[in-house]
Structure 1
Amino acid sequence: MGKRKRAARSRTNPAVIGGVVAVVVGGAGLAAYSMYSGDAAGEDSTADGHAKTLTAGPVTAAEVRATADGFLTAWQRGDAAKAAAFTDRTAAARAALSGYRKDAHIDEVTLTRGKASGPKVTFRASATVSYKGKSKPLTYDSELTVVRAEDGKPLVGWQPSVVHPDLKEDDTLVTGEAGDPPVKAVDRNGAELTTAKYPSLGTVLDGLREKYGRKAGGKAGVELRVVHGDSAKKSEHGAEESKDQPPSKTLLTVSKGIPGTLRTTLSATAQAAAEHEVGEREWASVVVMKPSTGEILAAANSSHGYNTALQGSLAPGSTMKIVTASMLLEKDLASIDKQHPCPKYASYGGWKFQNVEKFEIKNGTFRSSFAASCNTAFITQAEKLDGDDLTKQAQQVFGLSLNNWSTGVSSFDGAVPVQSNAQMAASLIGQGGVRMNPLNVASIISTAKTGIFRQPYLVSPDVDDRSLATAQRKLDASAQTHLHELLSYTATSGSAAEAMAGLGSDIGGKTGSAEVDGQKKPNGWFTAWRGDLAAAAVVQQGGRGGKSAGPLVAAVLRAGG
């Protein structure tokens, strides 16, 4: 009997597994070990393929080898039920291993065991992912751990990461359409827009793919990816994943998608100029648009991680005085060439306000106060206003703070909340609770130039039949004429004149700076128009707007659209 056993052990015939020969070889790492089926697992195994049961103690090397071999062999053969029986969580393992072929469309599987290290066994998976006539090889490394069950049996301690190291609890491997089809975005003249050429457009192009990928006529690619939670049930068919789940992770691109072409309102010329200017500065953001139509021609940011130009929420400082001035003009609380107070200080609601460098204008007009960006000229009028007056003006005339803009990509519509006491007074000069971004401020000066709010947009509403926001009413004709004159005067003879020099006669502008708690220098703002171009920019921690953001705006206006 002993001789027969020794003879059996001396044979070294290779084992054939699913048509693949895996032979025993020496060496470390993923040296190929033969994986035996249940009835050929060696003398340490029982007839059902499990290692002989021990009642206690750590699993032995023989048990680890036999259990791993039985599990991997059954998995490779596509027998999910038998492979799951080698684990301590049969139902979960069976579901995952069945989904490996059914949902992930992975076949032609070869699993090669590496050397064990205690109860842990590494292995390499080599397979093919196939979906609707497209296929691609897949190779990755994973590991399993053999544990002793309560009844003493050695079993694979089931974790989703056994199937693939990127899988966590409730995750699923899915192969299917890769979400939204890619988009080839082009400018108003058909020039392609890419992040390689225009880095600031990264978030914009991502947003366009998400919203218009299918409408633009593109075809999604095919990907193998890890999908989280309930999203897995929808993902194979290209449905939208749950907003409450983290984004899926792509493991393999089986085939690339075919992009559809989407025309935008952007101008390659204006975008290039905007990219150059923000690239010369830290924390700068700018937007260029057409006042006559609302079309956005450019949007750029120094930092490409967050789109401050379209989504930022910052105090706009004195650029808000455009809205406030229009309100004072309509209410006959100011007239451009009548005397208007501009003292060094003005108090309201328990706060004491002052002008930059504590300047004052004695016996000055509202024109001179506006052009010099006198804060106290506005604070002195607070006692004559109701707490919701500025909010109504911003919403009804300038289309702000209603959360109804539909630009074609994600954007913030500005916030002008109803406030009282000192906060209400601060709002008049763009502080308090007022929040804007360059898109909002460019829209403000566009409305001031034409007298009509036209909602900014980056994709024509004709593409998806969406409705653009409208204002409740136009700016009073007389107030609009005087506001236009105030902005023109500021650009030629006031605080905006230095930056706007040499840009012609059809110009208007407004400077601004906004104090921010914890910053040594305020955020610098500037907005202006030149002909049928309007722009607004902010340079965070830039200081005075005329010096920091002014040259940026002037440069993009000079470049044209």
Structure 2
Amino acid sequence: MDTHTHADPTPYGRPRRRPRRTAGALAAVAVVAAVAAGGAYAAGLGPFADEDGPDPEAVAEARAFLADWAAGRLPEAAARTTAPDRARQVLRSFTAGLDITGPKLVAEDPEETGEGTVTVPFTARMPVTGLGTWTYTSELPLREQNDGAWKVDWRLSLVHPRLGDGHKFRLEREETGPVRALDRDGETLSAGTHPSLAPVLARLAGGPDGGGPRGAVHLVDRATGEVVRTEASFGGRTTAKDDGPVRTTLDAGWQAAAERALGEAGGKNAALVALRVDDGEILAVANTPASGFNRALSGTYAPGSTWKIVTSSALLLKGAVAPDDVVDCPRYLTVGKRFQNVETSEHRGATFREAFTESCNTAFIGLRGKLGDGELGDVARRYFGVGQTWHVGVPSYDGSVPVPRDETEKAASMIGQGRVQANPLIMASVTATAVSGTFHQPSLVAGTEDTTATTPLPPRVVAQLRELTRATVTGGTARVLAGLPGEIGAKTGTAEVSDDQENNGWMVAHRGGVAVVEEGVTGGGSAGPVLRDLLAAAPAS
């Protein structure tokens, strides 16, 4: 529901779909590369308990347990419970038995549930290798011990609410034959020639709707083995024809360049998407390691400061700020918790342009009062299609920008943290929309349904965004791209994951029509070289 109006409400209407172009006419392209977080634990940035809320030490212990579980440190996670041996055994069998890799566990608001007890709800996103993500909610009960320390009060139901002494889970797969896929020029694509495409090609087995391999997680009776209920189903009806391969929008040249760029990044968890600005057709999708989980299209990560493209759009749309306005950039800013800039930098008297090019968190957080609580999500959905349902051709995660629950979370959302969730595909599309003004639903195969409805950005806002991203390359945090040919614009980003894991480093960029993202410790330092290598090696746009 729309609850806010903009200063420039020009109704451009729904964008028209342009006719598809052949590979020889790649006039405009957007490319994005991103790395997935190692443990994939989303610590979140708020809200934080006040003095009258649950004991912060209990909440910290719950978050630490979730972080250890997500990162695969099962002995450490088990040691945080009241039954370490049993917990270690169950957590190991649950993960291995259901082929779960890289779970994402997001803590929600804690609640005092009695004297000496606290409950922390959490959302679990469990990627089942080769099938998809099983999402559910559960709760962590914590109990204060005699020595004053807090421990997770172990019980089977905390792993999943329906896991108990009488029931267990069983994974069943339905085998499907390998899909034959071609790129946009008819060149054969396979996991053998393009290894990081493996999780994408596996999902193409279902045809335009992305049915992919099929399987299910069943709750079964421990004694009889009978299925009590199906907890999660993956894949759909196979529609791919046996008499011909699937024709994709991928470009073998872009794909090869993407794989080489990620290969030179040292084997860290990474994902990359390249797509065309003018029609959203995806040219390359790369994942490392190619373990079966499609981080590039299905991952859920905080986009960090690359999200400032959307935040800037929201501010510029309503005339709340102009590029030359002084916004200031102090080293720290406290909004329920202390926020800071990367390496605690500061730029006193900075203009909004400088705050963007130097990726100043505190300046953007200081502008939060210019936007209504739901306005950032409204702009993301209305102009960028984020949070709407996308039909890409394979399963994808299409983003989430919830209304902030308090001022701390609103501050975090301004800089792409808190509960804002995206992935390389989303940020590639965001960048393409920002520099062209029009959202095009990304597509991997021809004939995908488009149910999105968006409004084009006003030309003045597009011009400002292009100028801001260009200045980030010529004199800001994306200087690593300055030596490449073409008029490149970019935005870097760094998103906190948890205290004991490296940050996610992102970068998005466009050249003619190119946008790129990558992740490591910082956007410019670790993501930048991957993006630079990709643009240097990729076919000319």
Counterpart secondary structure, 1:411: coil
Instruction: Identify the range of structure 1 (306-315 vs 206-215) with the bigger mean alpha-carbon deviation.
Output: 206-215
Is residue 443 of structure 2 the alignment partner of residue 457 of structure 1? yes
Residue 411 of structure 1, aligned match among 396, 404, 410: 396
AA of the residue aligned to 1:300: A
Does the aligned pair in 1 maintain the 2:275–2:514 contact within 8 Å? yes
* Pair 1:260–1:358, CA change in 2 (3 A): same
Residue 342 of structure 1 deviates from its aligned partner by 1.3
Is residue 326 of structure 2 the alignment partner of residue 339 of structure 1? yes
Is residue 173 of structure 2 the alignment partner of residue 195 of structure 1? no
After superposition, the C-alpha distances for 1:208-254 in whole angstroms (9 at most, x for unaligned) are 11235999xxxxxxxxxx9999xxxxxxxxxxxx9768999xxxxxx
Counterpart secondary structure, 2:444: coil
Could you say which residue in structure 2 is the equivalent of 1:435? 421
Q: Distance in 1 between matches of 2:217 and 2:441?
A: 38
Residue 534 of structure 1 deviates from its aligned partner by 2.4
After superposition, the C-alpha distances for 1:282-333 in whole angstroms (9 at most, x for unaligned) are 1111111111110111111112121111111011110000000111111222
Work out the number of aligned pairs and report it.
348
Residue 477 of structure 1 deviates from its aligned partner by 2.0
* Pair 1:214–1:274, CA change in 2 (3 A): closer
Q: Distance in 2 between matches of 1:271 and 1:212?
A: 20
Is residue 511 of structure 2 the alignment partner of residue 530 of structure 1? yes
After superposition, the C-alpha distances for 1:447-468 in whole angstroms (9 at most, x for unaligned) are 111011111111112xxxx422
Does the aligned pair in 1 maintain the 2:216–2:231 contact within 8 Å? no
Q: Distance in 2 between matches of 1:517 and 1:410?
A: 28
* Pair 1:179–1:363, CA change in 2 (3 A): closer
* Pair 1:188–1:279, CA change in 2 (3 A): same
Could you say which residue in structure 1 is the equivalent of 2:374? 388
Could you say which residue in structure 2 is the equivalent of 1:514? 495
AA of the residue aligned to 1:418: V
Q: Distance in 1 between matches of 2:338 and 2:369?
A: 14
* Pair 1:227–1:366, CA change in 2 (3 A): closer
Question: For 1:199-278, what aligned pairs fall within 5 Å after superposition?
Answer: 199-211=195-207, 258=242, 260-278=244-262
AA of the residue aligned to 1:186: L
* Pair 1:380–1:211, CA change in 2 (3 A): same
Structure 2 residue runs of 5 or longer lacking an equivalent are 1-169, 219-228, 236-240
AA of the residue aligned to 1:511: T
Residue 363 of structure 2, aligned match among 340, 357, 377: 377
Counterpart secondary structure, 2:188: coil
Could you say which residue in structure 2 is the equivalent of 1:54? none
Q: Distance in 2 between matches of 1:415 and 1:484?
A: 25
Does the aligned pair in 2 maintain the 1:330–1:479 contact within 8 Å? yes
Does the aligned pair in 1 maintain the 2:209–2:393 contact within 8 Å? no
After superposition, the C-alpha distances for 1:451-492 in whole angstroms (9 at most, x for unaligned) are 11111111112xxxx422434211122122111110111122
After superposition, the C-alpha distances for 1:402-440 in whole angstroms (9 at most, x for unaligned) are 2x1010001111111111311011001011001111111
* Pair 1:213–1:427, CA change in 2 (3 A): closer
Percent identity between the two aligned chains: 43
Does the aligned pair in 2 maintain the 1:453–1:471 contact within 8 Å? no
Could you say which residue in structure 1 is the equivalent of 2:531? 553
* Pair 1:489–1:471, CA change in 2 (3 A): farther
Counterpart secondary structure, 2:393: coil
Could you say which residue in structure 2 is the equivalent of 1:31? none
Q: Distance in 2 between matches of 1:214 and 1:294?
A: 17
After superposition, the C-alpha distances for 1:256-288 in whole angstroms (9 at most, x for unaligned) are x95522110111111111112222331111111
Could you say which residue in structure 2 is the equivalent of 1:310? 297
After superposition, the C-alpha distances for 1:352-383 in whole angstroms (9 at most, x for unaligned) are 22212222212221111110000111111112
Residue 401 of structure 1 deviates from its aligned partner by 1.3
Q: Distance in 2 between matches of 1:413 and 1:198?
A: 25
Q: Distance in 1 between matches of 2:233 and 2:445?
A: 28
Q: Distance in 2 between matches of 1:386 and 1:268?
A: 44
AA of the residue aligned to 1:530: R
Is residue 318 of structure 2 the alignment partner of residue 322 of structure 1? no
Counterpart secondary structure, 2:471: helix
Q: Distance in 1 between matches of 2:180 and 2:290?
A: 20
Does the aligned pair in 2 maintain the 1:183–1:212 contact within 8 Å? no
Residue 504 of structure 1 deviates from its aligned partner by 2.4
Residue 560 of structure 1 deviates from its aligned partner by 2.5
Q: Distance in 1 between matches of 2:183 and 2:312?
A: 36
AA of the residue aligned to 1:555: D
Could you say which residue in structure 1 is the equivalent of 2:431? 445
AA of the residue aligned to 1:446: A
Counterpart secondary structure, 1:260: coil
* Pair 1:279–1:469, CA change in 2 (3 A): farther
Residue 520 of structure 1 deviates from its aligned partner by 4.0
AA of the residue aligned to 1:333: A
Residue 182 of structure 1 deviates from its aligned partner by 4.7
Residue 343 of structure 1 deviates from its aligned partner by 1.6
AA of the residue aligned to 2:466: H
Q: Distance in 2 between matches of 1:205 and 1:513?
A: 30
Q: Distance in 2 between matches of 1:522 and 1:443?
A: 23
Q: Distance in 2 between matches of 1:438 and 1:196?
A: 23
RMSD: 3.0
AA of the residue aligned to 1:545: G
Counterpart secondary structure, 2:490: strand
Residue 180 of structure 1 deviates from its aligned partner by 5.6
Question: For 1:285-304, what aligned pairs fall within 5 Å after superposition?
Answer: 285-304=271-290
Q: Who wins on radius of gyration, i.e. which is larger?
A: 1
Q: Distance in 1 between matches of 2:472 and 2:302?
A: 21
Question: For 1:140-155, what aligned pairs fall within 5 Å after superposition?
Answer: none
Is residue 445 of structure 2 the alignment partner of residue 467 of structure 1? no
Q: Distance in 1 between matches of 2:210 and 2:377?
A: 38
Does the aligned pair in 2 maintain the 1:289–1:535 contact within 8 Å? no
After superposition, the C-alpha distances for 1:324-355 in whole angstroms (9 at most, x for unaligned) are 0111111222111222221222233x222221
Residue 186 of structure 1, aligned match among 182, 185, 205: 182
Q: Distance in 1 between matches of 2:311 and 2:216?
A: 50
Q: Distance in 2 between matches of 1:379 and 1:228?
A: 42
Could you say which residue in structure 1 is the equivalent of 2:109? none
Q: Distance in 1 between matches of 2:364 and 2:216?
A: 55
Could you say which residue in structure 2 is the equivalent of 1:39? none
Could you say which residue in structure 1 is the equivalent of 2:338? 352
Q: Distance in 2 between matches of 1:228 and 1:357?
A: 44
* Pair 1:228–1:421, CA change in 2 (3 A): closer
Q: Distance in 2 between matches of 1:383 and 1:228?
A: 45
Q: Distance in 1 between matches of 2:329 and 2:409?
A: 20
Is residue 386 of structure 2 the alignment partner of residue 421 of structure 1? no
Does the aligned pair in 2 maintain the 1:288–1:556 contact within 8 Å? no
Residue 398 of structure 1, aligned match among 354, 369, 384: 384
Counterpart secondary structure, 2:197: helix
Could you say which residue in structure 2 is the equivalent of 1:483? 465
